[in-house]
Amino acid sequence: MIGQETIQRIMDISRIEEVIGEFVSLRKRGSNYVACCPFHNEKTPSFSVSPSKGLYKCFGCGESGNVVGFLMKHEHYTYPEALRWLANKYNIEIEEEQLSEEQIERNNERDALFHVSEFAQKYFADLLFNDEMGTAIGLGYFHGRGLTDKVIKDFGLGFCLDEWDNFTNHARKSGYSDNVLQKTGLTIFKDDGKCYDRFRGRVMFPIFSVSGRVLGFSGRILSKEKQQAKYVNSPDSEIYNKSNILYGLYQAKNYITRLDKVYLVEGNIDVISMYQSGVENTVASCGTSLTIEQVRLMRRYTKNVTVLYDGDSAGIKAAFRAVNMLFEEGMHVRVVLFPDGDDPDSYAQKYGSSRLQEYLRDNETNFITFKTRVLADDIKGDPIRKAEVLGEIVRTIALVPDLLERTEYVAQCSSLLHVPETTLQNELAKVLNRKLYENSKHTPDPADKDLVDHNGQTQTQLSGDSDSDTAQSDISTTKVEAFQLNPAQNQEIKIADLLLNYGNQLLPEIEKNENGEDVTVYYSVAQVIVADILADNLTFADPVCQIIFNHCAETLQDGANTIDMQFFVNHPDPTVRNKATSLLMKDLHISDKWAKDKHIYVPSPEEKLQLDVRESLLNLKMKKLEQKINSIDSQFPYASSDDERLMLIAQKMQLDKIRQNIGVALNRVVG
């Protein structure tokens, strides 16, 4: 394990512009560097590197992070591998932390599992080419599927003899323990002490890690016994979890990166057949339905995926199930369906490599269009079924994170289904609102309470006394309010922006000392913002902004004077990480031409920081008040008595008074 102190030394000495400069041609622009993004094709540079902040950000594709994140993304390193690369570059000796006995034992066991898996792969591969039975049955099967010896060796294929314990006895003689054989699943042990080879009588497909280590196996039976499963896979172990692995990724990863595209198929043979046909950027899920972990693994190499499935109804349903997860992770999804009865392997065997590649090119379509056409065939003039199809299509479009993509899909579906775009847009807005509501539930917004009226008076219990609160609570339970998008979102993001970019900068404040004299004291931007928001007991509807605020507040309350902004850049939640990096890397600067050519002086953000902080806090409170006033307005139709209406009027008048005072403080006329 790399010690935390060593990690900090590596991060402190690493210069992000030097590291990225080894892979990308950087050009100086102001205090930053720019380049064409290495993660997507572009002609105009939108990739920015900030040495002062130690961050990179592409304003085209959105990729962002620190120096370690760049190496992990660009070179496909793991976190420890990226740290070791940096340590080697800057001649930092890595001091490994002393492992506990439990950690040592676990690592030794993992090593043993890796060793026996690699031993098994070599043994099965040797039997395939050098054993009479292996050659006749196993190699004969692969040759019958049209595979060449080269591709068989590239994928490490093999054969397990159809004997009860041939492999187990061979492994025991080579020094491997029963415990290791059992944990890898290579051998099955019964309660009576007897054991047998899990994969006996099967051709073997080893499953490799991204770095090429053998993790497990998939074995296909060649006999036609109906009692036997067609495929048997290694059970999950310390080194193998089928939900986290893509078959063929080790062989395909470089091609995926180079072509910026991956083909997703259903089976192992499909992967190998595609590879042999010149479509090397192909992977499959390992003996399971596609998982979110597998989608994220693909996304490390590309955002472009084409799903290949059989053309029968089962293949279409499988494609529908898989694609939702792909969309949710921001993948650009296309689909190819093969003629009914064919799959990538059978099509390649029938027509050859050239026809296969031609078929993929000519029959690829975006998934939304494909799904719309498939479901449209099922409408047949039935208005109820048409409404159901529209709902299903809209729910799929709602999974697409990118606004422009969603808009384009709506236009395409409108044309195919002969439905006005506005109808689809309205339905899409409803789905997105529900989704946003479900994802951002938070504690009730205390904008109701303790807002300062900015004439120096504190308004406690803006919603009235305790009896009024009870009455209002009763009213709220009688109806369900329609969810609306967060109207204060821009103000919340602005507060998070100030905390991240200027949180540690000091602002002067005039205060009275014990003698009644004016003295200047200094508070950080974070201290001013945190104190003001806590005093008014406000919360954020945007969950990421709330996380940023909470950390700043907790840090200051624990006695620290400064906020470590790297906490957000390295945050375990990618949503927080991406939002924080985007705010920290805003590529905004004032052109010198304003002063030089136009003789107009524009103050820098730092020069107007104090005013910016004050106005941002007031604007946030104004929006929160407006939300509360709108909420009260919406309750009038549901008031069941004059007393309830009078109570709501009193609450609204109280809130309006505070809103007017905030408007005065902002030099704004409030209607």
- Measured CA to CA in angstroms, residue 137 lies from 141, 146, 148, 346 at distances of 6, 15, 15, 20
C-alpha span between 615 and 611 (Å, rounded): 6
pLDDT digits (tens, 9 = 90+) for 618-648: 888 888 888 888 878 877 776 667 777 787 7
Say if CB 6 and CB 94 are below 8 A apart: yes
Grade residue 446 by pLDDT with cuts at 50, 70 and 90.
very low
Residue entry with tokens 């890595």: 94
Instruction: State yes or no: pLDDT of 137 exceeds 90.
Output: yes
Say if CB 327 and CB 321 are below 8 A apart: no
**Vertex 131 angle, CA 128 and 132, to 5°:** 110
Say if CB 246 and CB 292 are below 8 A apart: no
In the chain, pLDDT over 70 holds for what percent of residues? 85
pLDDT of residue 315: 63
Say if CB 34 and CB 24 are below 8 A apart: no
pLDDT of residue 370: 84
C-alpha span between 327 and 94 (Å, rounded): 40
pLDDT of residue 36: 87
pLDDT of residue 5: 76
pLDDT digits (tens, 9 = 90+) for 21-34: 888 888 888 878 88
Cβ-proximal residues to 201 (8 Å cutoff; 6+ apart), any chain: 160, 161, 162, 221, 222, 223
Q: Which domains are seen in the chain, by residue range?
A: 4-89 (3.90.580.10), 101-240 (3.90.980.10), 246-434 (3.40.1360.10), 448-665 (no CATH)
Grade residue 1 by pLDDT with cuts at 50, 70 and 90.
low
pLDDT digits (tens, 9 = 90+) for 238-294: 889 888 899 999 899 878 877 889 999 988 999 999 999 999 999 998 766 888 889
* Long-range contacts from 85-94, C-beta under 8 angstroms, 24+ separation: 86/10, 86/14, 86/19, 87/6, 87/10, 89/14, 89/19, 90/10, 90/13, 90/14, 92/6, 92/9, 92/10, 92/13, 94/2, 94/6
Which amino acid, one-letter code, is at 347? Y
From the CB of residue 652, how many other CB atoms can be counted at a distance below 10 Å?
Answer: 18
pLDDT digits (tens, 9 = 90+) for 433-444: 777 656 544 433
How much is the CA Rg of the chain, to the nearest whole Å?
31
Cβ-proximal residues to 52 (8 Å cutoff; 6+ apart), any chain: 31
Grade residue 557 by pLDDT with cuts at 50, 70 and 90.
confident
**Vertex 412 angle, CA 407 and 413, to 5°:** 95
SS3 (DSSP) at 17: helix
b/e burial code for range 555-587 (CB count within 10 A of at least 16 → b): bbeeeeeebebbebbbbeeeebbbbbbbbbbee
The per-residue DSSP string of 488-503 comes to: THHHHHHHHHHHHHHT
C-alpha span between 210 and 468 (Å, rounded): 63
Mean pLDDT value across the chain:
81
From the CB of residue 33, how many other CB atoms can be counted at a distance below 10 Å?
Answer: 22
> What is the token pair recorded at 512?
């009275």
pLDDT of residue 483: 35
C-alpha span between 307 and 318 (Å, rounded): 10
What's the mean pLDDT in 484-512? 82
pLDDT of residue 665: 81
User: Parallel, antiparallel, or unpaired for β 365-366 and 332-337?
Assistant: antiparallel
Query: Which of the two residues, 222 and 315, has the higher pLDDT score?
Result: 222
Query: Which of the two residues, 458 and 306, has the higher pLDDT score?
Result: 306
Which amino acid, one-letter code, is at 352? G
Distance of CA 262 to the CA centre of its chain: 18
Instruction: State yes or no: pLDDT of 235 exceeds 80.
Output: yes
Helix (H) or strand (E) holding 170: helix 166-173
